[in-house]
Amino acid sequence: MRVAVLSGGRSSEHDVSLASGASVRAGLAQAGHDAIDVRIERGGAWLHEGSELSVTPGRGLLGAEVVFPVLHGPFGEDGTVQGLLECLDVPYVGAGVLASAVCMDKVVFKELMASAGAPQVGYVGVTEARWRSERESVEREVAALGLPVFVKPASLGSSVGIVKAEQEAAVGPALDAAFAHEGRAIVEAAAVGMEVECSVIGPTASPEASAPGEIVLRRGAGWYDFEAKYEAGGMELVVPARIPAGAREAVRELAREAFTRSGCHGLARVDFFVEGDVVLLNELNTIPGFTETSVFGKLWGASGLPYPELLDRLASIAVARHREERRYRH
C-alpha cells in the first residue's frame, strides 16, 4: 500500500515524533509498502518533499491508501489531526477523534476508568482558574493524597512538565509550572511497585495484548522521567515482567478493557504500577513512541510479532475500519 507517515508536529515532542516517523517509514518499506514522508513543522505547516502541502476535504492525502500518524502530544495525539483525516476521508492508523481526546486528557481518562471501577492511584484534577480562586480547597484535596505526589499537565506526554513534589511546599510551585503548559493539571499519589507496560493492537471490540514488560530505571531522577525514557541507557525493558503470573494476566486483561472502554482502535500502550498481585492502571497512550527500540514495538517483538509485520497489521486494521465505517449512513 501507499502509506503517508505523519511526523513532527507542533508539540514539545516534535523531535521524538520525527524519530518515530523515520523508524515507521523504514519498517513499512521492509514490509513492502511505499512509505511517504509528510512532515509537520513546529509552526503547523505540512510539508512533502520540502514543499508546503495543501489538502482538500474528501480528496484524501497524496493518493495514500492509508495514513499513519506518528504525532505525540497536542495537535496530533489529541483528536485534532484525526478530525482532519476524517474530513479528508482517508483511512488512518490508531484511535479516532473521541478516543484520542479522552485518552490524551489524563483527568478525563482517569474519570472514565474510575466509573468502570478500574483500580488506579488516587488523583486530583485541577484547573488553573480554580487554583487561583480556591487555592486552600485545592491544597486540602491534594494533601489527602499524601506525599510524595506527581504534578503533571493534563494533556502532555513523554514526561514533559512533570514534577515530583516530595514536600507540601513544593506542590504550589509544581502546579504553577504545570499551568505554564496548559490550563489543566493532575496531581497523582505516588504508587508503590514497579512500572509495567503492555501493548495492545486490534479493533475496539476484540483487541490483543502483548506480554507485559517491566521498566527498570538506569538513569534519571529515580522515576520514569524524560531522561530515563529517551537518553541512551536510561532504562531497560524486561520481558516478560518479573511479576506473578496472575498479575501478568491481570495486566493484559485490564489493558484490553481500558482499550475497549475508551473506544480505542488500532493500537495503544497501557501503563501500570504493580506490587505483588496488586495491579493499578496508570495511563493509556494512543500514539506511543514508535521506533523499533521503543517499548511498544519491543513488547510485540518479544510476543512474536516483528516490527515490520506489526506495522503491516496496523495499516490493514486501519483500512478495514474505514471500509466498515463507510457502510453507515450519516
Query: Which residues are catalytic, by number?
Result: 13, 158, 230, 269, 271, 283, 285, 289
Residue 328 resides in a domain: no
What is the CATH classification number for the domain harbouring 134? 3.30.1490.20
CA 100 to chain centre: 9
- Quick check: is 168 in a domain? yes
For residue 229, what pLDDT is reported? 56
Is 201 found in the same domain as 169?
A: no
Same domain as 74, residue 55: yes
Rounded to an integer, what distance in angstroms lies between the CA atom of residue 240 and that of residue 303?
Answer: 9
- Cβ–Cβ < 8 Å for 150, 224: no
The burial class, CB within 10 Å (0-12 / 13-18 / 19+), for 283 is buried
Q: Is residue 314 part of a domain?
A: no
Indicate whether 199 and 281 sit together in one domain: yes
* Domain CATH code at residue 63: 3.40.50.20
Give yes or no for a contact between 199 and 269, defined as CB atoms under 8 angstroms apart.
yes
Query: Considering the domain boundaries, does residue 58 fall inside one?
Result: yes
What is the pTM assigned to this prediction?
A: 0.92
Whether residue 308 lies inside any domain: the answer is no
Q: What is the 3-state secondary structure (H, E, C) of 292-323?
A: CCCHHHHHHHHCCCCHHHHHHHHHHHHHHHHH
Tell me, what's the pLDDT at 291?
Answer: 84
Per-residue pLDDT, 227: 57
State which of 189, 204, 231 marks the end of a domain: 189
**Are residues 155 and 204 both part of a single domain?**
no
Same domain, 153 and 213: no
Mean pLDDT per segment of 10 residues, for the chain of length 330 residues?
97 91 97 98 95 96 98 93 97 98 96 96 96 96 96 79 92 95 94 94 97 85 56 80 97 98 98 96 94 91 97 98 89
Asked if residue 82 belongs to a domain, the reply is yes
Residues 273, 212: contact at Cβ < 8 Å? Answer: no
**Is residue 61 one of the residues assigned to a domain?**
yes
Query: In sequence order, what are the beta bridge partners of 215?
Result: 195, 237
For residue 154, the model assigns a pLDDT of 92
Residues 129 and 86 in one domain: no
C-alpha cell at 189: 499519589
Same domain? 258 vs 278 = yes
| AA letter at 230 | Y
Is 217 in a helix, a strand, or coil? strand
Q: Is-contact 290 24, C-beta < 8 A?
A: yes
Co-location of 6 and 90 in the same domain: yes
Q: Are residues 146 and 199 in the same domain?
A: no
Strands, E assignment, the chain: 2-8, 34-40, 46-48, 51-52, 66-69, 123-127, 149-153, 163-165, 184-189, 194-202, 208-209, 213-217, 235-238, 266-275, 278-285
Q: What local confidence, expressed as pLDDT, does residue 226 receive? A: 56
The count of structural domains within the chain is 3
Same domain, 174 and 129: yes
Note whether 8 and 90 are same-domain residues: yes
How high is the pLDDT of residue 295? 94
Among residues 247, 267, 286, the one where a domain terminates is: 286
- With a CB cutoff of 8 Å and minimum separation 6, the contacts of 173 are 163
Residue 73 domain boundaries: 2-94
Q: Which of 166, 189, 212 is the last residue of a domain?
A: 189
Structural domain contains residue 310? no
Residue 232 belongs to a domain with what CATH number? Answer: 3.30.470.20
The verdict on 196 and 282 lying in the same domain is: yes
